[in-house]
């Protein structure tokens, strides 16, 4: 599929901006991408403006059955938040640039902070299912990139730095807020695998040796495009299961989704505290 051009992003953004302002809502400066099992957050937004992806010009449409495909702009307290309920994964068959497409749209909408969540397998034996982990770095072994191909200069440089996209200030703030809420937010390095199959034990041993502490099939494309667009990111992984070979237990999608549901309350409290503080 042909890569999107700048005017596509502009058309998507203008459509969304019109929907939000017509509803009398202030434009949000924080966006949040909701991962598997964590979509409930979107239902908690007040005065929601719901925009199905299929209505937005040039926007990809989600195919994962349990994930909704809609943008929800609404209030938490008096702060407007733009939430993506349902995200795009490479394993669904999208091009990598498509999976990161919303980030360019966020940039044009004036989003200044991006919170990304996901479900991930725990590699570090210091984690257990249900833990929340702030991602401080990532490893992507697959060669594709969301910004491969013709560069769109309006979004940033062809070659750009990746050292500060996982914003240290946001990680510190999130850890502090988690502490105030009575739980520990751990830190970790996200190992990206394209999926959709879960990993083999040998692959997990390899990722662990390389320094990854969790593994997942999302997030890095959005983070890379956010780095180009200079949008600081806070990424929080929910450890939904221990990765292959760590405990020997089989990994199932049910377990992944179930753990998300169990921690969604804690997660919502943390995001609320962050939204209020940012």
Give bridge partners of residue 130 from the DSSP assignment: none
Q: Which helix (H) or strand (E) holds 242?
A: strand 233-242
Which of 39, 86, 104, 216 is in the footprint of ligand HPA by CB under 6 A? 216
In the complex with ligand HPA, which residue's Cβ is closer, 82 or 217?
A: 217
- Number of other CB atoms surrounding residue 231 within 10 Å: 21
Q: Which residue shows structure tokens 């982990």?
A: 133
In the complex with ligand HPA, which residue's Cβ is closer, 176 or 247?
A: 247
In the complex with ligand HPA, which residue's Cβ is closer, 69 or 121?
A: 121
In the complex with ligand HPA, which residue's Cβ is closer, 73 or 193?
A: 193
Give bridge partners of residue 251 from the DSSP assignment: none
Which of 221, 243, 263, 271 is in the footprint of ligand HPA by CB under 6 A? 243
CB within 8 Å of 261: residues ≥ 6 apart: 37, 40
Could you tell me the two tokens for 100? Answer: 């990161």
Rounded (5°) CA angle 82-83-85: 155
Q: Which listed range, 60-68, 130-138, 177-185, 237-245, lies at the site for ligand HPA (CB under 6 A)?
A: 237-245
Could you tell me the two tokens for 47? Answer: 């005065």
Told to check if 241 binds ligand HPA by CB under 6 A, we report yes
Site for ligand HPA in 102-141 (CB under 6 A): 119-121
Contact positions vs ligand HPA (CB under 6 A): 119-121, 193, 198-199, 215-217, 240-241, 243, 251, 256
């Amino acid at each position: 599929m042909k890569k999107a051009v700048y005017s596509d992003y502009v058309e998507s953004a203008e459509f969304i901006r019109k929907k939000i302002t017509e509803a009398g809502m202030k434009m949000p400066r924080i966006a949040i991408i909701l991962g598997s099992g964590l979509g409930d957050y979107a239902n908690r937004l007040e005065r929601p403006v719901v925009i199905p992806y299929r209505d937005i010009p040039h926007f990809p449409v989600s195919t994962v059955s349990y994930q909704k495909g809609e943008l929800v702009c609404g209030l938490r307290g008096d702060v407007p938040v733009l939430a993506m309920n349902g995200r795009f994964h490479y394993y669904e068959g999208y091009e990598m640039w498509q999976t990161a497409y919303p980030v360019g749209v966020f940039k044009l909408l004036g989003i200044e902070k991006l919170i990304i969540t996901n479900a991930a397998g725990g590699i570090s034996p210091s984690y257990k299912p249900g833990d929340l982990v702030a991602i401080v770095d990532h490893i992507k072994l697959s060669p594709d990139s969301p910004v491969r191909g013709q560069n769109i200069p309006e979004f940033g440089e062809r070659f750009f730095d990746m050292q500060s996209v996982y914003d240290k200030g946001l990680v510190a703030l999130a850890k502090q807020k988690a502490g105030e809420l009575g739980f520990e937010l751990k830190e970790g390095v996200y190992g990206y695998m394209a999926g959709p199959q879960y990993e083999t034990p040998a692959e997990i041993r390899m990722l662990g040796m390389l320094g990854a502490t969790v593994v997942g099939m999302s997030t890095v494309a959005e983070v890379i495009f956010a780095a180009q667009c200079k949008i600081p990111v806070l990424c929080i992984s929910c450890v939904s299961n221990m990765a292959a070979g760590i405990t020997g237990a089989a990994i199932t999608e049910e377990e992944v989704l179930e753990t998300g549901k169990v921690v969604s309350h804690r997660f919502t409290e943390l995001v609320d505290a962050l939204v209020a503080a940012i």
